[in-house]
A and B are shown apart, each in its own frame.
Chain A
Amino acid sequence: MLPVLSLIVLIPLLFSAFAFLTKTREQARVVALMGTLITLILTLYMYFSFDSSSAAMQFEEMASWIPSLGINYHLGVDGVSMPLILLNAIVIPLLILFTWNDVRSASNRFYGLILAMQGAVIGVFISLDFFLFYIFWELTLIPLFFMVNIWGGPNKRHASMKFFIYTHVASLVMLLGIFGLYFAAWDQTGVANMGITHLVSQFPMIGSGIARDAIFLALLFGFLVKLPIVPFHSWLPDAYAEAPTAGSVLFILLKIAGYGIFRVILPMLPATGTPDMMITILGLLGSVSIVYGAFLALSQKDLKRMVAYSSVSHMGFVTLGAAGLVTLSISGAMFQQFSHGLILSIMFMSVGVIQASTGTRIINDLGGLATKMPKLAVIMMLAFMASLGLPGLTGFIAEFMVFTFSYVNVPTFVILALFGVVITAGYHLWAMQRTMFGVYNGKIGEVFDLSNVQTFSMAVIALLVLYFGLNPSPVLDMMITASNEIVSLMAAMGV
Chain B
Amino acid sequence: MAYENLAFLIPLLPALAFAITFFVGKKTPYGGGLIPIFAIAASFLISLMITIGLLQNPDQVISQSYHWFAIFNLGILIDPLAAVMLTMVAFVSLLIHIYSVGYMSHDPAKSRYFAETSLFTASMLSLVLSDNILQLFISWELVGLCSYLLIGFWYQKPSAASAAKKAFLTTRVGDVMFLAGIIVLFADLFKLVNGSIPDGVYLLRFDEIFSYIPEIAAMNATILGFEVSHLTIITLLFFGGAVGKSGQFPLHVWLPDAMEGPTTVSALIHAATMVTAGVYLVARTFPMFIAAPQSLIIVAYVGAFTALFAATMGLVMNDLKRVLAYSTISQLGYMMLGLGMGAVVGAEAVGVSIFHLISHAFFKALLFLCAGSVIHAVGTHDMRELGGVAKVMPITAATMVAASLALAGFGIPGTSIGSTGFFSKDPIIENAYLFGEHAGNWFPYLFAIVAALLTSLYIFRLLFMTFAGKPRTNYGGHESPASMTVPLSILGILALFFGAIVVEPLNKFVSGTFVNNFVNMDIPALAEVGNYELVHHAGHEPLLIQWMPVIVAIIGLLITFVIYYQKAIDMSRFVSKDNVVYKLLYNRYYQNEIFTRLFAVRFVYEGLAMAGYHIDRFIDGIVNVISYLTIEAGDSFRKIQTGVIQHYSVAVITGVSLLVILIKLVMEVF
Interface residues of A (CB under 8 A from B): 162, 165-166, 180, 183-184, 187, 206-208, 210-211, 231, 234-235, 292, 295-296, 298-299, 326, 328, 331, 368, 370-371, 385, 390-392, 396-397, 400-401, 403-404, 407-408, 411, 414-415, 418, 421-423, 425-426, 429-430, 432-433, 436-440, 471-473, 476, 480
Contacts and interface: CB of A to CB of B under 8 A. Distances in A.
B179 A421 contact: yes
Contacts of A392: 138, 141-142
A437 B168 CA distance: 15
A406 to B, nearest CB: 9
Nearest to A381: B149
Contact of B612 (A166, A187, A299, A331): A299
Given A391-B138, A404-B183, A433-B161, A187 B667 contact: yes
B222 interface: no
Given A180-B666, A183-B663, A438-B155, 13 more contacts: A211-B670, A231-B619, A235-B623, A295-B608, A295-B609, A326-B195, A371-B156, A390-B145, A421-B172, A423-B604, A425-B168, A436-B155, A471-B69
Nearest to B620: A234
Contacts of B142: 390-392
Given A331-B70, A370-B155, A391-B138, A425 B169 contact: yes
Nearest to B174: A422
Nearest to B152: A437
A187 B666 CA distance: 11
Contact of B619 (A184, A234, A418, A439): A234
Interface string B584-608: 0000000000000000000011001
B482 interface: no
Contact of A408 (B179, B187, B605): B187
The 10 closest A-B pairs by CB, nearest first: A437-B161, A391-B138, A295-B612, A299-B609, A299-B613, A437-B155, A298-B609, A234-B620, A429-B165, A438-B158
B397 to A, nearest CB: 36
Contacts of B160: 437
Contact of A207 (B137, B148, B612, B670): B670
B545 interface: no
Contacts of B71: 328
A438 B260 CA distance: 13
B67 to A, nearest CB: 9
A312 to B, nearest CB: 10
A391 B669 contact: no
Interface residues of B, number: 54
Given A234-B620, A404-B186, A425-B168, A208 B669 contact: yes
A267 B157 CA distance: 54
Contact of A162 (B195, B604, B623): B623
Given A421-B176, A436-B155, A299 B610 contact: yes
Interface string B130-144: 000010011001100
Contacts of B61: none
A322 B459 CA distance: 56
Interface of B: 68-71, 134, 137-138, 141-142, 145, 148, 152, 155-158, 160-162, 164-165, 168-169, 172-173, 176, 179-180, 182-184, 186-187, 190-191, 195, 604-605, 608-613, 616, 619-620, 623, 627, 663, 666-667, 669-670
Do most interface residues of chain A lie in helix, strand or loop, or is the interface mixed?
Answer: helix
17 contacts: A183-B667, A235-B623, A295-B608, A298-B609, A299-B610, A390-B145, A391-B137, A407-B184, A425-B168, A426-B169, A429-B148, A436-B155, A437-B152, A437-B158, A438-B155, A471-B69, A476-B69
B70 A476 contact: yes
B180 A418 contact: yes
Given A422-B169, A439-B156, A183 B610 contact: no
Contacts of A397: 69
Contact of B609 (A211, A235, A296): A296
B577 to A, nearest CB: 31
B645 to A, nearest CB: 28
A304 to B, nearest CB: 16
A318 to B, nearest CB: 18
A402 to B, nearest CB: 10
Contacts of A418: 176, 179-180
B81 to A, nearest CB: 23
Contacts of A210: 669
B619 A422 contact: no
Contacts of A299: 605, 609-610, 612-613
A440 B157 CA distance: 10
B123 to A, nearest CB: 9
B665 to A, nearest CB: 12
Contacts of A187: 667, 670
Most buried by B among A162, A404, A408, A426: A404
B612 A472 contact: no
A183 B659 CA distance: 14
Contact of A296 (B157, B169, B616): B616
Given A187-B670, A295-B608, A391-B137, A414 B183 contact: yes
A296 B616 CA distance: 8
B402 to A, nearest CB: 38
A49 B248 CA distance: 53
A407 B183 contact: yes
Contact of B141 (A206, A326, A390, A471): A390
Contacts of A401: 70
B187 A472 contact: no
B49 to A, nearest CB: 28
A166 B157 CA distance: 46
A151 B619 CA distance: 27
